[in-house]
């Protein structure tokens, strides 16, 4: 039974009904070292399969060396992001984490902390409200190849 109702108030679209939560994952194998993977299509596919029409999509990275953000996902912007991070958080710099654990990925943790582990995207009429060139990306900053599982949680009506 569909209990969702939509109404407009002064231009604002309001969807009412029982709130539902759908949770799924996206699995990726990456080479690490700052690799950037576009995941917009995967997130959009999960949103479509949820059957929800309005709400929010949250993408979350379990782990301390990965991050999610949005950008124009094209080689130039990816290169510029990687160059910026190499400048402000260089892999060869001294990191206390490396002294403590000896795993050589102190820069990976700092980069991930700077960008953050999650992203929330509103959706309406079943479509994410991303800008024309805005795409969702996963950044794997670890110093080695990794298999990653990102959590996608969709909340809405």
For the segment 13-49, what is each residue's pLDDT rounded down to a tens digit? 777 788 999 999 999 999 999 999 999 999 999 999 9
DSSP labels, 19-34: -EEEEEEEEEEE--TT
* pLDDT confidence of residue 35: 98
The topology (CATH level 3) of 37-156 is Jelly Rolls (2.60.120)
Residues of the chain with confidence (pLDDT) below 70:
1-10
Question: Residue 146's pLDDT is what?
Answer: 96
Instruction: Return the H-helix or E-strand segment holding 77.
Output: helix 75-88
Q: What is the pLDDT of residue 15?
A: 74
122 beta partners: 56
Q: What's this model's pTM, rounded to 2 decimal places?
A: 0.90
For residue 89, CA distances in Å to 6, 66, 93, 99 come to 47, 15, 8, 17
DSSP structural state of residue 1? -
pLDDT score at 5: 58
Angle at 119 between CA 116 and CA 125, to 5 degrees: 175
């Amino acid at each position: 039974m569909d209990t969702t109702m939509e109404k407009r108030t002064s231009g604002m679209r309001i969807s009412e009904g029982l709130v539902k939560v759908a949770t799924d994952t996206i699995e990726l194998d990456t080479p690490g070292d700052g690799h950037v993977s576009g995941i917009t299509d995967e997130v959009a596919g999960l949103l479509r399969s949820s059957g929800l029409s309005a709400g929010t999509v949250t993408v979350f990275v379990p782990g301390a060396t990965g991050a999610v953000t949005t950008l124009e996902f094209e080689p130039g912007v990816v290169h510029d992001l990687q160059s910026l991070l190499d400048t402000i958080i260089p892999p060869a710099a001294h990191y206390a984490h490396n002294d403590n654990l000896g795993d050589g990925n102190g820069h990976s943790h700092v980069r991930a902390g700077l960008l953050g582990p999650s992203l929330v995207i509103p959706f309406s009429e079943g479509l994410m409200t991303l800008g024309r060139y805005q795409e969702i990306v996963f950044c794997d900053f670890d110093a080695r190849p990794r298999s990653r599982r990102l959590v996608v949680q969709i909340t809405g009506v």
